[in-house]
Each structure stands twice: as C-alpha cells, then as structure tokens.
Amino acid sequence: MPVSREIHLVARPTGLPREDQFTVVEVAVGDAADGEVLVQNLYMSVDPVMRFQLNGMAPLNETLRGAAIGRIVQSKSPAFAVGDIVSHYLGFREYFRSDGEGLTRVSTPEGLPLTVHLNALGMTGFTAYGGLLRIGQLKPGEQVFVSAAAGAVGSVASQVARLKGCRVIGSTGSPEKAAWLRDVARLDAAINYRETRIGEAVRDAAPEGLDVYFDNVGGDHLEAALACMNLLGRIPVCGMISGYNGADVAVRTLSAIVQRRVMLRGFNLMDFQDLREPFEREMTGWLRSGDLRSEETVLQGIGQAPAALIGLFEGRNLGKMLVRLG
C-alpha cells in the first residue's frame, strides 16, 4: 500500500509565493479497488495558470492540482493496463487512485521523450500552435513578436512562427535565455528586457512593424508591441504573467488599436479543439526532425515542487518547468 507525498497550499501568497506557504504531506493512498487504477506520477507540469489556484481557486490544506504524466502501476479497470502512460490534471502528488475519470492514455512517438506530452506535444505546445495560427491568424512572411519567448508556451510559439516562415522577435529576462533564443530557437532577434528598455528594443527590432504579437506578459511588453502594430495586426493573449504576482500592469496606450484596427483576444485551447489533429501531426514532424526543440527545466523530487512554482514566477525556467518524480 503506497504512501504518497502531496503538495498542499497552507497560506495564500499575495506577491511572489514563498516556500513556507506550501507543505509536503504524506497520505496513505491504498491499493486500487475494483474498477480503479493506481497511478504513479512521473512528471508534473508547473504552469503560470496555477497562480489562480494560489489566489483562491484551490482550497487550503488540500492537494494542489496540476497537469502531470503518470504510469498505471495497479489496474482493476478494464480500460487500463499496468504500464500504460496517462496524462491528467490530478497532479502535485506522487500516487493516486482513480476510476479512470480524467485520465487520458498517451502514446509517445518513437524517438521522443515522455515529457513532450507536458511540453511541445501537450497543452503547452497546442496552446502555442492554436494561439498563433487560429487566434493570431499567422501568415507566412509576417513580423512576429513573442514575449516570454524562452518560457514554456513562448518557446514553442516563437519556434512555430519561425517554422511558418515568419520573422520572429523574442523577449526574455536573462542573457542565457536570450542566447538560447538566438542559438537554439534560431529567432531573428532576441531582447533581454532587463538590459534594455522594452519599448525601444522592440521598435528597433521591428523596422517593418508587427503583424502578430503573442502576449504572455501584458503591461510594458504589451505597450511596446502596441506601439509597433501594423494595420489589422493581431494580439493573441495567452497570459499576462507580469500581473500574476501583483505588479502594476497598466496599459496606457490601448487606443492604438483603434487607428490600426488591431485585435486582442484572450484565449485558451478550448478555442481550437478542431486543430488537435493537424497540430499533433505537424508538431510530431518538427520534433522528430529536430526543427523544433521541446525545451525543459527539470527539478527532481516532489519536495522541489514549491521551488519550481516560485522559480516559474521568477522566470528561472528555460522552456517548460517540470518536476520529475520517482
């Protein structure tokens, strides 16, 4: 009978989360009963959207929820066999029992690591792909700016834009990540917003203006993009992480959208479920050919989950932030 360690939130953060607002709790999970499976989590996904749980959507002193990949280690369900790999949103713990609700069996294309299901081939990559192509209406040859371009969604979005034949500018917050944008993601321009004024840097990097701004940040990055948007430009808004920890995110120049007839659209992957098949086909090809890198930052052990979450909001991750278990 396995004992599972789980992450509980014990106090609500106001600014950046702190380690003492989380705790690790041991829970006796029990063996799978009839119709049930026992899942051992292998990788947990650490996502900006978890901020909303911290702010109030998750109850205190219960298991935090998050995306994860696990393996079926006991099965009394006809729907799953021991060894099956499943993705789900029941993470932030090592083991759990399930009647199968919310578990999706995944098969990993040959030659790719398991973690692609939480990264470029999972929700993260699908959000980037559909956000650019459906919400952003991306066309070959366009001028594209992606903020947080070395982050999880941003690192996929910026590479997809390049692979679709666009000129791509990416912003990030460290020299190492800026080097990754140039050398690994092979973007046309990389901006370290901590070393420059973002408004001037975007303007200098976008002499032909911007057709699409893929927004992960909001605030000053959105203002920088608004100043450069071309006529009929599109701004798919995936997130506004600059405000998630309480910073000022005022946008003072929104009226720029009127004269240039620009669209902003908040979205998530519910907006383009019909793209899942072409996404999986195209993304699998890019990953196998090496044209697109599913970048990840991996911390080891459930006890590192709070540090991973804090690090995410501090921008410490390159690519997807993951916690490996077991």
Q: Measure the CA dihedral 76/77/80/86, to 10°.
A: -90
**Shortest Å, Cβ 271 to a second copy:** 6
CB of 209 vs a second copy, minimal distance in Å? 15
Among 56, 111, 252, 277, binds a second copy (CB under 8 A): 252
Q: How many residues bind a second copy (CB under 8 A)?
A: 30
H helix or E strand, kind and range, residue 183: helix 175-183
Site string for a second copy, 256-275 (x = CB under 8 A): xxxxxxxxxxxxx-xx----
Nearer to a second copy (CB atom), residue 100 or residue 131: 131
Choose between 33 and 254: whose C-beta lies nearer to a second copy: 254
CA distance 237 to 229: 14
- x-or-dash pattern for a second copy, window 28-57, by CB under 8 A? ------------------------x-----
CA distance 103 to 89: 8
Q: Tell whether residue 218 is a contact of a second copy (CB under 8 A).
A: yes
Residue 189 or residue 262: which is nearer to a second copy going by CB? 262
What residues have CB less than 8 Å from 53, skipping those under 6 apart? 9, 64, 65
Least CB distance to a second copy at residue 127 (A): 11
Cβ-based nearer residue to a second copy, 84 or 223: 223
Q: What token pair was written down for 217?
A: 């940040």
Of the two residues 259 and 289, which places its CB atom closer to a second copy in the complex? 259
- Cβ-based neighbour number of residue 21 at 10 Å: 18
CB of 219 to a second copy, least distance (A): 9
- Give the shortest CB-19-to-a second copy separation in angstroms: 26
Q: Which is nearer to a second copy, 233 or 306 (CB)?
A: 233
* C-alpha distances out from residue 184 to 20, 162, 195, 267, 295, Å: 36, 12, 21, 27, 9
CA dihedral angle for residue 120, residue 164, residue 274, residue 109, rounded to 10 degrees? -40
Tell me, rounded to whole angstroms, the distance of Cα 142 from its chain centroid. 24
- Cα 186 to Cα 116, 170, 173, 268: the distances in Å are 20, 10, 17, 26
Q: Considering the rule CB under 8 A, would residue 254 count as an interface residue with a second copy?
A: yes
Site string for a second copy, 222-251 (x = CB under 8 A): x--------------xxxx--x----xxxx
Where does this chain bind a second copy (CB under 8 A)? 52, 218, 222, 237-240, 243, 248-252, 254-268, 270-271
